[in-house]
Amino acid sequence: MPDATLLDQVKDFANRADPYPIYAKLRKNPVSRQDDGTESGTWVAATHGTIASLLQDPRVSSETLPPADRPRTGNPLTDLIVKPLKDWMMDRHRVFIFRDPPDHDVLRASVMHQFSRARIQAMRTRSERLVADLLDEKRDAREIDAVDDLAYPLPVTVICELFGVPREDEPKFHGWATQLATALEPDSLSDTEIRAANSRTFDAIGGYMADLIKEKRRHPQDDMLSGLANEATPEGAKMGDYDLVATSILMLVAGHETTVNLITNGLLTLLRHPDELERLRQDPGRAPRLIEELLRYEPPVQFRTRKTLSSIDIAGVTIPEGADLVLLLASGNRDAAMFPDPDRFDPDRTGTRHLGFGGSLHYCVGAPLARFEAEAALTALARRLKAPRLIEDPPPYRSGAALRGPEHLRVAIDGIV
């Protein structure tokens, strides 16, 4: 058993509340090999410069998922004929965060075409309304859980409405989304049990989405799923059904599992910096810069994984061909070479180029939505919570190291105005 590497420590749940000192150690070598028992090892890029460079390097691939391999059922017909076919179809219709150009581009363009300015604007107004309603429900409370009461239901409702998923079906997604989000955690790629559970979940949510898509074809509504199912892009691109199912699952999972962390990390950070909370309360116009700083300081997606297609010389090392890569976005965000005094939360920084939404061709599709939702939530919390106090610091965290954020955030209050 080799000693725990720094990457193992990042993944270790015991360090979930504060992984930043480990990132600081990793940054001493801009790109470092972490022993993982394999010959090539896992390579971690921890500085802003190396991450930014690798994000836009065509020798770096996002096609990290191992070939589909559904669990055998014992039924020879299923195992010999249906399973290989399903595995084959799954491999050919991966979601676009796990695909490279040119395939990636066609799928992403279809989504961007539907992610219209008007739709996003409408969701901005809608977010403000939803936040107001959610807080009204807790008007007489003396304690709230910022996750269950606001940070989770807000983005979930927004993504469901945007896609046209009936509100009453939403509870089904809760478990599906949490399960599928594990695909972004590095260990899930090799853990056969997690992979089997992900296959089952994908089948369940996929069946649901296929039915919903049929419905959107019969009765198109003004929502993104209807648009994706019925309209082509100006260039004439239109998704086939397998890609459409996979893409809509990706959007729904992303809507469930990321913005929640941005809002919760945001409130947690503000409660730890009461002066900033007070400044936001007095001047909601500070929200945009505050949110950019949050995306730097406590990004919801701490890292993303990649693979090298060829060997790459970078920062004095050679990453071999076929190596697993971890792009430690949250560490690049704390790189003093890019951000002076990086561990200080300072919304008044100028010219920040944080990696909170990734970068280059996989830059977060939902970034504008996330910004609006966080702005609606945090400005309302600052304005309406009377004398908010953290009940637990640090709060309990969700299991993920990549998608990192509190499981619950209990806040004592004197009321909600």
Partner 1 sequence: MSDRAVVVGAGLAALRGAEAMREAGFSGPLTIVGAEPYRPYDRPPLSKHVLAGEIQADATTLPSSLGADVDWRLGSPVTRLDRESRTLHRADGGTLLYDRLLIATGTRARAWPNPHEGRLSGVFTLRGRDDAAALRAALAAGPRRVLVIGAGFIGCEVASLCRQLGLPATLVEPGPTPLGRVLGSAVGAFIGAMLEGRGVDLRSGSEVEWLEGEGGRFVRAHLTDGTRIDADVAVIALGAVRNTEWLDGSGLSADPGGVDCDAAGFVLDTEGQPDPRIAAAGDVARFPHPLYGGRRVALEHWSHAVMQGTHAGQLLAGAKPASPYAALPTFWSTQGDVVVKSAGLTEGADAVAFTQGEPGSGRFIAVYGRAGRCIAAVSVDSARWLPAHAELVAAGAPFPPQGAAADRPSRGIMVLAPGFP
Give the footprint of partner 1 on this chain (CB under 8 A): 53, 56-62, 100-102, 309-311, 313, 321, 360-361
- Please state the closest distance from residue 166 (CB atom) to partner 1, in A: 38
Identity of the residue, 197 or 309, whose beta carbon is nearer to partner 1 in the bound complex: 309
- Pull the structure tokens for residue 124: 């901005």
- Please state the closest distance from residue 187 (CB atom) to partner 1, in A: 25
Identity of the residue, 76 or 340, whose beta carbon is nearer to partner 1 in the bound complex: 340
- Please state the closest distance from residue 323 (CB atom) to partner 1, in A: 13
Identity of the residue, 52 or 146, whose beta carbon is nearer to partner 1 in the bound complex: 52
3-state secondary structure the chain: CCCCCHHHHHHCHHHCCCCHHHHHHHHCCCEEEECCCCCCCEEEECCHHHHHHHHCCCCEECCCCCCCCCCCCCCHHHHHHHHHHHHHHHHHCCCHHHCCCCHHHHHHHHHHHHCCHHHHHHHHHHHHHHHHHHHHHCCCCCEEEHHHHHHCHHHHHHHHHHHCCCHHHHHHHHHHHHHHHHHHCHHHHCCHHHHHHHHHHHHHHHHHHHHHHHHHHHCCCCCHHHHHHHCCCCCCCCCCHHHHHHHHHHHHHHHHHCHHHHHHHHHHHHHHCHHHHHHHHHCHHHHHHHHHHHHHHCCCECCEEEEECCCEEECCEEECCCCEEEECHHHHCCCCCCCCCCCCCCCCCCCCCCCCCCCHHHCCCCHHHHHHHHHHHHHHHHHHECCCEECCCCCCECCCCCECCECCCEEECCCEC
Residues 6+ apart with CB under 8 A from 236: none
- Please state the closest distance from residue 59 (CB atom) to partner 1, in A: 5
Q: Is residue 394 reached through a cis peptide bond, with omega within 30 degrees of 0 on the bond before it?
A: yes
Identity of the residue, 58 or 175, whose beta carbon is nearer to partner 1 in the bound complex: 58
Identity of the residue, 57 or 87, whose beta carbon is nearer to partner 1 in the bound complex: 57
Identity of the residue, 5 or 50, whose beta carbon is nearer to partner 1 in the bound complex: 50
- Please state the closest distance from residue 54 (CB atom) to partner 1, in A: 9
- Please state the closest distance from residue 101 (CB atom) to partner 1, in A: 4
Identity of the residue, 132 or 232, whose beta carbon is nearer to partner 1 in the bound complex: 232
The answer to whether 188 and 174 have CB atoms below 8 angstroms apart is: no
- Please state the closest distance from residue 315 (CB atom) to partner 1, in A: 12
Identity of the residue, 53 or 114, whose beta carbon is nearer to partner 1 in the bound complex: 53
- Please state the closest distance from residue 30 (CB atom) to partner 1, in A: 14
- Please state the closest distance from residue 92 (CB atom) to partner 1, in A: 17
Identity of the residue, 30 or 153, whose beta carbon is nearer to partner 1 in the bound complex: 30
